[in-house]
Structure 1
Amino acid sequence: MVEKLALVGIGKIARDQHIPAISDNPEFSLEAVVSRNATVDGVQHFKTVDELLEARPDITTVSLAIPPQPRFDYAAKALNAGRNVMLEKPPGQSLAECFTLETLAREQGVSIFATWHSRYADCVPDLREWLSSRTIKKLEIVWKEDVRKWHPGQEWIWEPGGMGVFDPGINALSILTEILPFPVHLKSAKLEFPENRATPIAASLDFANPVNAQMRAEFDWRQEGPQSWDIVIDTDDGAATLSHGGALLTIGGQQIKQGQDNEYANLYARMASLLKSGKSDMDMSPLIHVCDAFSLGERLVTDPFHY
């Protein structure tokens, strides 16, 4: 049976990733969109999620591609209306919101999926398998990009709940928590806040782990020129580099795999699988690391940021 789906939020990520992935997946039919201003040709449009839920009881799944600050209210309304819910990353602006939504989905007997798109990059499973039989000696994440390129004029990322540089940084953390054969936790962090902003523009994290490996992450939103989305790992049996956000895997200096841009296609395939099984997937481990960074991190004030 084809699942009738509504997409809430028609911004850049929706047009670039969600809509093509939905269109290419025979398990879903894009029946409606919700946006105050934007529309999609040939698809029914609603200005509010309340209008959608009232007018289209036949739509079984709601995918939320909106900023994290308003997401809880939208998701709760959809769940209370008995709809399955798919959450763009990060799944909420707090852990408490996410756990509440997970409980609500269980009470309503529907599925909820906290998506981590970078975790579904093509080369991530290959690196996870390779690491499973090796001892990690050192791991370094370098996730540096230009906020002006990827979030032009978007003020919500600088507001409380917007997460600042952790908006992309959480992508790296979603890969980290997927590939490691053991859990880790944050032991220290330094966060750089522009003096005119409420969220950080850069961060450095140090992780404690059971094998006493050096594990660090560096996030920065001020990177000009080439962008960096790399994870470099030294082990007792060679070194591996996962680059381009998870699309390229190099081991021992040799390219092992060049993946395709399948992250969102893989997300919707996973959602289809959850719906068939009646299960949910609300792994919060990437968000836990972000919350710990805000809790443990030393706050440093840096130059003001302006678009």
Structure 2
Amino acid sequence: MARKVALVGIGKIARDQHLPAIAANPDWELAAVVSRNASLEDVDSFTTLEELLEKRPDIDTISLAIPPQPRFDYAAAALAAGRHVMLEKPPGQSLAECHALEAAAREHGCTLFATWHSRYADCVPDAKAWLKERRIKRLVITWKEDVRKWHPGQDWIFEPGGLGVFDPGINALSIMTEILPHAVHVSAATLEFPANRDTPIAAQLTFTDPTGAEVSADFDWLQEGPQTWDIDVETDEGTLKLANGGAVMSVNGSVVKQASDHEYANLYKRMAELVQNCGIDMDLSPMTHVADAFTLGRRKTVAAFEF
């Protein structure tokens, strides 16, 4: 029997990704939505999470597709009510919030899943397996896209807790932390803040690798035209490239796998497994890199930004 899930937030990411993934998965039934400004036909709709928790005790899973700033309060309330919680990335606006949510999930015996959708791209497991047997000499992340295209008018993303360019950049970091056979850490960063904004619109990161490999990342939110979501790796036995956010894998310049977009389908499959076993998946390594970049980063003021 399908488990009942409520989706909180029905904005662009919910309509583009969450709703189709839930509809296609027989393990899940979309039983309700929560939104202050919108609703769905033929689905029980609520304007507050509190009302949903009170009136629908039969729904045991809450999926949060809302900005990171209010997410902690929503997740904490759901966990306190004994509901399983699935967190859109990033899982919170701070590491402390995420640690507190994990503690609450353990206290109440609930599942908690910090989702990293790019990590669930089809080619990521293949890249991880290929790199496991090789010595990495150099890894370069190039993640450049157009914020006006993907977040039109969404000022929250430039407010404290919104992460700025790290909102997409953390997707690359979630892939890097999955495919590398060992941990790295940020050693230097430059963060470019628009003169009128509180979060960066571009960033350059350098990492320290325990094996001596050169590891770096270049994030930019002003790239028009074709978008770039690439990770290039040079090893002692050839090169690997993950392109299009992990959907295309090339080895030594030749495409070896080209996959479809199954990221959110894979997320909901994983969530079903976790709920079945009352498990917790709260890997925070991508967010740790972002926090370290803010701690270590040299601030550079650039031109003001308007949508």
Query: Could you tell me the TM-score, scaled by structure 2's length?
Result: 0.99
Q: Distance in 1 between matches of 2:252 and 2:209?
A: 24
Q: Which residue of 2 aligns with 1:306?
A: 306
Counterpart amino acid of 1:123? C
Q: Distance in 2 between matches of 1:79 and 1:294?
A: 29
1:288 aligns with 2:288: yes
Q: Report how many aligned residue pairs link the two structures.
A: 307
The residue correspondences of 1:234-249 to structure 2 (distance < 5 A) are 234-249=234-249
Q: Which residue of 2 aligns with 1:63?
A: 63
Q: Which residue of 1 aligns with 2:35?
A: 35
Shift of 1:41: 1.5
Shift of 1:24: 0.5
Q: Which residue of 1 aligns with 2:207?
A: 207
Q: Distance in 2 between matches of 1:147 and 1:2?
A: 37
Shift of 1:253: 1.1
Shift of 1:44: 0.5
Shift of 1:234: 0.3
Q: Distance in 1 between matches of 2:277 and 2:79?
A: 17
In percent, how many aligned pairs have the same letter?
65
Shift of 1:48: 0.3
1:268 aligns with 2:260: no
The residue correspondences of 1:1-307 to structure 2 (distance < 5 A) are 1-307=1-307
Shift of 1:111: 0.3
Q: Distance in 2 between matches of 1:151 and 1:14?
A: 13
Counterpart amino acid of 1:38? A
Shift of 1:40: 1.3
Shift of 1:67: 0.1
**Structure 2 spans left out of the alignment, 5+ residues:** none
Q: Distance in 1 between matches of 2:42 and 2:203?
A: 43
Secondary structure of the structure 2 residue equivalent to 1:249: strand
**Structure 1 spans left out of the alignment, 5+ residues:** none
Secondary structure of the structure 2 residue equivalent to 1:119: helix
Q: Distance in 2 between matches of 1:201 and 1:97?
A: 24
Counterpart amino acid of 1:279? G
Secondary structure of the structure 2 residue equivalent to 1:68: coil
Shift of 1:180: 0.3
Superimposed CA distance per residue, residues 252-275 of structure 1 (whole angstroms, 9 cap, x where no aligned partner): 111110011100000000000101
Shift of 1:198: 0.1
Query: Could you tell me the TM-score, scaled by structure 1's length?
Result: 0.99
Counterpart amino acid of 2:274? L
Counterpart amino acid of 2:296? L
Q: Distance in 2 between matches of 1:87 and 1:33?
A: 15
Counterpart amino acid of 1:266? N
Shift of 1:84: 0.1
Question: Once superposed, what is the RMSD of the aligned Cα atoms?
Answer: 0.5
Shift of 1:164: 0.2
Q: Distance in 1 between matches of 2:299 and 2:56?
A: 47
Secondary structure of the structure 2 residue equivalent to 1:210: coil
Counterpart amino acid of 2:9? G
Q: Distance in 2 between matches of 1:258 and 1:127?
A: 12
Superimposed CA distance per residue, residues 51-108 of structure 1 (whole angstroms, 9 cap, x where no aligned partner): 0000000000000000000000000000000000000000000000000000000000
Shift of 1:220: 0.3
Please identify runs of 4+ aligned residues in structure 1 that moved more than 4 A. none
Shift of 1:297: 0.3
